[in-house]
Chain A
Amino acid sequence: MSTRLASGGRLLNKGKAVEFTFNGKRLQGYEGDTLASALLANDQMMVGRSFKYHRPRGIVASGAEEPNALFNMGEGSKFEPNQRATTTELFHGLTCASQNHWPSLEFDVGVVNNYAARFLPAGFYYKTFMAPRAAWKHVFEPIVRQSAGLGKAPKDRDADRYEHFYAFFDVVVVGGGIAGLIAAKAAGASGAKVLLMEQTAHWGGRTPVDGGEIDGVAVEDFIASLVNELKAMGNVTMRNRMMGAGVYDHGYVLGYERVADHTPNAVGPRHRMWRIRASQIVTATGAIERPLSFAGNDVPGVMLAAAVRDYVMDYGVSIGDRTVVVTNNDDAYRTAIALKNSGLEVPVILDARASGGGALADEARALGIRVENGKGIAKVKGGKRVTGVAICAQAGEGSTLEEIKCDAVAMSGGWSPVVHLWSHCGGKLIWDDAQAHFRPDASCAPTNQNGEGFVVPAGTANGPLGLNAVLADAVKAGESAAKAAGFTPKSVAAPQGVASDEAAMEPVWLMPQGAGPKLRMKAWLDYQNDVKVSDVRLAAQEGYESVEHTKRYTTLGMATDQGKLSNINGLATLAGQLNAPIPAVGTTTFRPPYHPVSFGAIAGEARAETFQPVRDTPISGWHSENNAFFEPVGHWRRPYCFPRNGESHAEAVKREINQTRNSLGMLDASTLGKLVVSGPDAGKFLDMLYTNMMSTLKVGKCRYGLMCSENGFLIDDGVVARIDEETFLCHTTTGGAERIHGWMEEWLQTEWWDWKVYVANVTEQYAQVAVVGPNARKVLEKLGGMDVSKEALAFMEWKDGKLGDFDARAYRISFSGELSYEIAVPASQGRAFWDALLEAGAEFDVMPYGTEALHVMRAEKGFIMIGDETDGTVIPQDLNMQWAISKKKEDYLGKRAQERSFMASADRWKLVGLETLDGAVIPDGAYIPAAGENANGQRNVQGRITSTYYSPTMDRGIAMALVHRGPDRMGEVLDIPTLDGTVLKAKIVDQVFYDKDGEKQNV
């Protein structure tokens, strides 16, 4: 069993007990524990079930590479699935539960898959479940889905908050182990601005676990003084609980700071995503120990040798009373020695190397530990916990030489540098034969905006494993990063440790090397995704020879640990099967993030109210206070209508229209774009932008204009007012202000840069109110001030002056067909102006109206709406707007495009009005079919509805449509099928339904 030892545990505060709950059981750990160490201390070795076969799984590792110990953590709005026990600091009140089993961890029905494992090899689902056809969707897929997946889906809205932080450094050092600390010091000594980040809560990494001395002092003391030294450096920033999540182009680094995962009740953000720009990045990310591939290497109790040591030394936890150590390198001897020194039994060290280990092996023997060279494990005994091992000759096929009882196995297959961050942005790797691992290829570093390398690996992340080599490499890395960042490094002597003489490791990719199919089927490569040696071999046999094919066919390395433990073993297995050297088979591409990061942190502050900007007009407050139903229009919110006393939206719209047409309405039109275009060439410029002639517009007058893209399509419309000889004010649509402003600047800056024109966007300088209806003039006259009579301010004229107290510009324009003024006042006067109009209009029962009433009234009048009559495929000619296209101009944007054969054709769909014979309203978006089918069997069509409304004014449905040669077909009756199967009959009519002669607006 695993248990807490009476002594040891350098990271623990044993004075402070911490209570937590696992699968409903109340357990106790200490401050400083990880959830994993606390569980082990409570003899909870088995922590979950595997993905495919639902086999029992135990804790394998002590860090981010852990594939098995994933939990449903927390409750309610703080619930989170797939939280790793090894990277979770224990806190008081933590609750967690194991995943992927039913009904319980101990007894899981899904384990039937395990008994059928022989029938479920890699890729079996590609070969079956094909008949009958419907069965995949209705039978097989639901079963697969239900048995796959890991943690539960959260149900509640996340109660936590998140944020981003932009930061800039000369050198960012990722990893706060011995190499990172030393590299940071070496870089910092040059004066460079340095960030050192460490994913755990502790500085120093794994070096202190092994004790020893550096520069004559104990490792722990050496690190403590190094940390103090760094803290004292003003140019060095240190952040722990912050992981280097990803390296992106041009020195962009994501730092994932878990601010409050360990203090979930604290006020403040849970995670903070640092978006860092670094000139140079030092990856001191360490190395990860590889498992060995032997049968039963997934039985709970089989653990990485270094992790066994970590648990003993860091947390005072023994994972078993009797631990068999199996290895192909010297480092695992340290585990045996540490266990023995802690009073635990190590019945045997199985060293797969025929020649055995070096000085550490002698030390182990001296402690009385039995060491067997050239031996390995044929098979691990036990189901939910190791009960023993069968020993075999590594060189053989697995005949059992001896069985030994034990309750834990510590394995080491060698070490792989953590090269993820190096690789994220294109750094290449080379194969190191001596260590049997991939390490960064310094000659192919990822390059930055200047084409220069910007990532420098340091320490074990760069390949060296020996302490002194690591220390020297770290100094070099820190210095070269500082230099590359433009600083002059101060030469610092590398610290010196006491190193033991180690024998060379020997790669072992299968144990025993001649293991037959039965053993290979039980030798796991990827614990979480249940990929075994036999699966990779099968993939190669079937032609999935590329490493990417093998990965995808077997799912090797695709689990939540992203192959941290399995990649190299899988690759070597594949290479072995293909009879190719490992580097020739290649490696897979590492993608960010290094370790999963919360979506909350990625979204940052952009949630709920601050999800996206909401743009308000100066009058929005009134709208909210008066029950406006808002619709989003770009980032703006505009009132769609103002329902009163339980009215439906349709009823409200009808009331708003009727009252406007009969007496007085008003609309907040502030969102309309307003661009000032000014300069000696302003007229010439607008002549190019609009299809019609603007340069001839008289000062004091307004003209409606159309804008097209260079591709000929209508992109915007609006009224242009000439303010003075050199100045125009161009109105755009609500969505068009920024777009058209940018459009104008683009042409002025990139094509006609010698034209003397300036543009300014003054959209928000003004609150603009449309005052509409037969009583519009009266209400303005009531406010007093400027003369708004027909004579003083005729249709399509504008004028500056005072209205009451307000500084106003009045435009006599109409989008409704009524007598209408659009009044612009400075935004800061907007709300007061609106209120004044309401007060003055009370006697006319003034009716604020929303966008839907606006749309209906313009449709009644036959005016087009950008976005309704146009959709990016419509040219002005389609809308019969030749009147707005100047014949005199040689050029305007879009003119050449409109000369192309398809656009110049008379055979296009053109705008008409439609009236249903029975007065019904045609559904939005309806198409008008024609006889027959096209070559693809689709019904031929001859037009479509662009706008359709119930018109309160006409008391019937009205519509506009683009119809094939429509204007030539006046009076024709068309069939319009609706989605409920009925067919409406509609007559082609003029698109102007209301007041064709304009008598109402010209008063």
Chain B
Amino acid sequence: MSNLVSALNHAKSAGFASVEETGLQGMITVRGDLASKAMAAAVKAATGAAVPATRKIEKGDTGAVAWMSPDELLVITSYEGVDSAIEAMKASLQGEHSMVVNVSDARAVFKVSGSAEDVMAKLAPVDFSTEAFQPGEFRRSRLAQVAAAMWKNDDGSFELVCFRSTAQYVFDLLSVSAANGGEVRHLS
């Protein structure tokens, strides 16, 4: 299939921090018993990572897994790798009460680099200070008026996921919050 287009097709903006829609990303909602061996095997098969602890994101060879709720994970893979990951997980979870759903197209992903904390803290009621929010943390909250999930990369950049339909709104929010002159110089 050609002509695959993510929500904002890699839109970018730059101020005192830069904002980028990162394009299509494979994403799978997995629901089931997170403590089960079958789940561990499924997640391992799809990403090479272990099942994350509460509010954590684990990275593996072929993807990452984020803790969404006590019975839900978000598996993040390459866009192309989604079908095979789903197949692998369904196989591992055979016979378990579980759900595996492709949500890659239902989401948009943004990356904020530079003084990212000061941008994020304008929009989400979350403590982004270095002590409180470290790489590996995965936080669901709101970004101004829409739901979002966010995490911090080792390089200090933030990534966040929102619903595809709200991508333009989120991009506008992030861009205006990162606009020059708005430096807070508090967290970053």
Physical contact A–B (CB less than 8 Å): yes
Residues of B within 8 A of A615 (CB): 163, 165-166, 169
Residues of A within 8 A of B177 (CB): 163, 605
| B residues adjacent to A (C-beta < 8 A) | 1-7, 24, 29, 31-32, 71, 97-99, 101-107, 118, 121-127, 129, 132, 144-146, 163-169, 172-173, 176-177, 179-184, 186
User: Is B181 within 8 A of A163, CB to CB?
Assistant: no
A661 at the interface (CB under 8 A from B): no
Expressed in whole angstroms, the Cα–Cα distance for A678 and B90 within the complex equals 14
Expressed in whole angstroms, the Cα–Cα distance for A758 and B100 within the complex equals 10
Expressed in whole angstroms, the Cα–Cα distance for A275 and B127 within the complex equals 11
Expressed in whole angstroms, the Cα–Cα distance for A828 and B24 within the complex equals 8
User: Is A764 within 8 A of B99, CB to CB?
Assistant: no
19 contacts between A and B (CB under 8 A): A165-B118, A166-B125, A167-B186, A168-B132, A237-B186, A267-B181, A268-B180, A269-B181, A605-B122, A605-B173, A609-B172, A615-B163, A636-B165, A676-B99, A764-B163, A764-B165, A805-B2, A826-B104, A828-B6
Residues of A within 8 A of B127 (CB): 166, 168, 277
Where chain B touches its partner, the secondary structure class is: loop
User: Is A676 within 8 A of B101, CB to CB?
Assistant: yes
Expressed in whole angstroms, the Cα–Cα distance for A618 and B24 within the complex equals 13
On whether A613 and B105 interact (CB within 8 A), knowing A605-B122, A806-B1, A829-B1, the answer reads no
| A residues adjacent to B (C-beta < 8 A) | 161, 163-168, 193, 237, 266-269, 272, 275, 277, 605-606, 609-610, 612-618, 635-636, 676, 678-680, 756, 758, 760-766, 805-807, 826-829, 831-832
Question: How many pairs of residues, A versus B, come closer than 8 Å at their CB atoms?
Answer: 135
On whether A610 and B5 interact (CB within 8 A), knowing A678-B99, A765-B106, the answer reads no
Chain A CB within 10 A, most for which of B125, B132, B164: B164
User: Is B122 within 8 A of A612, CB to CB?
Assistant: no
User: Is A832 within 8 A of B5, CB to CB?
Assistant: yes
User: Is A612 within 8 A of B1, CB to CB?
Assistant: no
User: Is B180 within 8 A of A762, CB to CB?
Assistant: no
Expressed in whole angstroms, the Cα–Cα distance for A636 and B163 within the complex equals 13
On whether A765 and B165 interact (CB within 8 A), knowing A163-B182, A267-B181, A272-B184, the answer reads no
Expressed in whole angstroms, the Cα–Cα distance for A961 and B125 within the complex equals 47
Residues of A within 8 A of B102 (CB): 765
Residues of B within 8 A of A635 (CB): 166
Residues of A within 8 A of B122 (CB): 163-166, 605
Residues of B within 8 A of A277 (CB): 127
User: Is A765 within 8 A of B186, CB to CB?
Assistant: no
Which of A165, A613, A827 has a CB less than 8 Å from the CB of B164? Answer: A827
Residues of B within 8 A of A832 (CB): 2-5
User: Is B144 within 8 A of A605, CB to CB?
Assistant: yes
Expressed in whole angstroms, the Cα–Cα distance for A760 and B2 within the complex equals 28
Residues of B within 8 A of A164 (CB): 122-123
User: Is B144 within 8 A of A606, CB to CB?
Assistant: yes
Residues of A within 8 A of B3 (CB): 829, 831-832
On whether A605 and B106 interact (CB within 8 A), knowing A166-B121, A266-B181, A756-B97, the answer reads no
Which of A616, A760, A766, A831 has a CB less than 8 Å from the CB of B31? Answer: A760
Given contact pairs A168-B129, A605-B122, a sample of 12 additional A-B residue pairs in the complex whose CB atoms are under 8 Å apart: A165-B122, A166-B127, A168-B132, A267-B180, A277-B127, A679-B97, A680-B97, A758-B32, A827-B105, A828-B6, A828-B105, A829-B3
**How far apart are A349's CB and chain B's nearest CB, in angstroms?**
48
**How far apart are B163's CB and chain A's nearest CB, in angstroms?**
5
Which of A613, A636, A766, A805 has a CB less than 8 Å from the CB of B1? Answer: A805
**How far apart are A580's CB and chain B's nearest CB, in angstroms?**
46
Expressed in whole angstroms, the Cα–Cα distance for A574 and B31 within the complex equals 67
Expressed in whole angstroms, the Cα–Cα distance for A615 and B166 within the complex equals 5
Which of B24, B132, B176, B182 has a CB less than 8 Å from the CB of A610? Answer: B176
Residues of A within 8 A of B24 (CB): 828
Q: What 9 A-B pairs are tightest by C-beta distance, nearest first? A: A268-B181, A267-B181, A832-B3, A615-B165, A827-B105, A764-B106, A765-B106, A758-B99, A168-B127
Expressed in whole angstroms, the Cα–Cα distance for A164 and B143 within the complex equals 12
Which residue from chain B places its CB closest to the CB of A268 in the assembled complex?
B181
Chain B CB within 10 A, most for which of A168, A267, A272: A168
Expressed in whole angstroms, the Cα–Cα distance for A765 and B107 within the complex equals 8
Which of A161, A275, A678, A758 has a CB less than 8 Å from the CB of B176? Answer: A161
Residues of A within 8 A of B106 (CB): 761-765, 827
Which of B126, B164, B168 has a CB less than 8 Å from the CB of A614? Answer: B168
On whether A679 and B1 interact (CB within 8 A), knowing A764-B105, A828-B6, the answer reads no
User: Is A612 within 8 A of B145, CB to CB?
Assistant: yes
**How far apart are A276's CB and chain B's nearest CB, in angstroms?**
11
Which residue from chain A places its CB closest to the CB of B176 in the assembled complex?
A605
Expressed in whole angstroms, the Cα–Cα distance for A159 and B3 within the complex equals 40
Residues of B within 8 A of A268 (CB): 179-183
Residues of A within 8 A of B172 (CB): 609-610
User: Is A165 within 8 A of B184, CB to CB?
Assistant: yes
User: Is A606 within 8 A of B1, CB to CB?
Assistant: no
On whether A269 and B182 interact (CB within 8 A), knowing A167-B121, A828-B6, the answer reads yes
User: Is B145 within 8 A of A166, CB to CB?
Assistant: no
Expressed in whole angstroms, the Cα–Cα distance for A765 and B122 within the complex equals 29
**How far apart are A196's CB and chain B's nearest CB, in angstroms?**
13
Residues of A within 8 A of B186 (CB): 165, 167, 237
Expressed in whole angstroms, the Cα–Cα distance for A746 and B184 within the complex equals 40
Expressed in whole angstroms, the Cα–Cα distance for A763 and B106 within the complex equals 7
User: Is B105 within 8 A of A765, CB to CB?
Assistant: yes
Expressed in whole angstroms, the Cα–Cα distance for A832 and B6 within the complex equals 12
Residues of B within 8 A of A269 (CB): 181-182
Which of B98, B129, B167 has a CB less than 8 Å from the CB of A758? Answer: B98
User: Is B144 within 8 A of A765, CB to CB?
Assistant: no
Expressed in whole angstroms, the Cα–Cα distance for A756 and B98 within the complex equals 9
Expressed in whole angstroms, the Cα–Cα distance for A758 and B166 within the complex equals 25
Residues of B within 8 A of A636 (CB): 165
Expressed in whole angstroms, the Cα–Cα distance for A761 and B4 within the complex equals 22
Expressed in whole angstroms, the Cα–Cα distance for A832 and B2 within the complex equals 9
Which of A193, A612, A613, A828 has a CB less than 8 Å from the CB of B5? Answer: A828
Expressed in whole angstroms, the Cα–Cα distance for A161 and B176 within the complex equals 9
Residues of B within 8 A of A272 (CB): 184
**How far apart are B120's CB and chain A's nearest CB, in angstroms?**
9
**How far apart are A802's CB and chain B's nearest CB, in angstroms?**
10
Residues of A within 8 A of B105 (CB): 764-766, 826-828
Expressed in whole angstroms, the Cα–Cα distance for A605 and B146 within the complex equals 14
Expressed in whole angstroms, the Cα–Cα distance for A591 and B56 within the complex equals 41
Residues of B within 8 A of A167 (CB): 121, 186
Expressed in whole angstroms, the Cα–Cα distance for A605 and B122 within the complex equals 9
**How far apart are B7's CB and chain A's nearest CB, in angstroms?**
8
Residues of A within 8 A of B121 (CB): 165-167
Residues of A within 8 A of B29 (CB): 760
**How far apart are A31's CB and chain B's nearest CB, in angstroms?**
21
Chain A CB within 10 A, most for which of B24, B29, B169: B169
User: Is A610 within 8 A of B169, CB to CB?
Assistant: yes
Which residue from chain B places its CB closest to the CB of A237 in the assembled complex?
B186
**How far apart are A607's CB and chain B's nearest CB, in angstroms?**
10
Expressed in whole angstroms, the Cα–Cα distance for A680 and B97 within the complex equals 8
Expressed in whole angstroms, the Cα–Cα distance for A402 and B101 within the complex equals 93
Which residue from chain A places its CB closest to the CB of B8 in the assembled complex?
A616
Residues of A within 8 A of B101 (CB): 676, 760, 762, 765
Expressed in whole angstroms, the Cα–Cα distance for A840 and B1 within the complex equals 18
Residues of B within 8 A of A165 (CB): 118, 121-122, 184, 186
Which of B5, B118, B126 has a CB less than 8 Å from the CB of A618? Answer: B5
Expressed in whole angstroms, the Cα–Cα distance for A269 and B173 within the complex equals 14
**How far apart are B42's CB and chain A's nearest CB, in angstroms?**
14
User: Is B169 within 8 A of A613, CB to CB?
Assistant: yes
Which residue from chain A places its CB closest to the CB of B1 in the assembled complex?
A805
Residues of A within 8 A of B98 (CB): 758
Expressed in whole angstroms, the Cα–Cα distance for A760 and B32 within the complex equals 12
Which residue from chain A places its CB closest to the CB of B168 in the assembled complex?
A616
On whether A765 and B103 interact (CB within 8 A), knowing A168-B132, A828-B24, the answer reads yes
Which residue from chain A places its CB closest to the CB of B132 in the assembled complex?
A168
Expressed in whole angstroms, the Cα–Cα distance for A161 and B182 within the complex equals 10
Expressed in whole angstroms, the Cα–Cα distance for A805 and B71 within the complex equals 36
